[in-house]
Amino acid sequence: MPVSLRIPEAVKKRVARRARAQQTTAHAFMLEAIHEKLEADEARAAFHAEAERRLAKMKRSGAGIPASQVFDYFLARARGRKPARPKTRKIA
């Protein structure tokens, strides 16, 4: 599918400069930038979909881990300790 992009002159110059620095073409540079943006956006969408799925599961089951316990667990891990993983429990 052919695509035409109208790019402001200032952006064209910046792309050309960065493409030369990477010893590639402006076209290849832009394709890589689009690819990177798509990858990041798809990863973000997948992350949000998984979060929504887990939240729905938590609401159905009524089980979860209080945020304070999660934070304490991660802080201990960040400090090099090996704490027991918090257990899920019914949350009102």
With contact defined as beta carbons under 8 Å apart, do 29 and 15 qualify? yes
Whole-number pLDDT of residue 19: 98
Low-confidence spans in the chain with pLDDT less than 50: none
Tell me if the pTM is above 0.85: no
Q: Where are the domains of the chain?
A: 8-61, 62-92
Whole-number pLDDT of residue 91: 81
DSSP 8-state secondary structure symbol assigned to residue 83: P
**What is the Cβ-side half-sphere exposure of residue 12, based on CA atoms within 13 angstroms?**
5
Closest among 49, 81, 84, 55 to 70, alpha carbons compared: 84
The encoded tokens of residue 85 equal: 């993983």
Whole-number pLDDT of residue 1: 86
Tell me the average pLDDT of the chain: 95
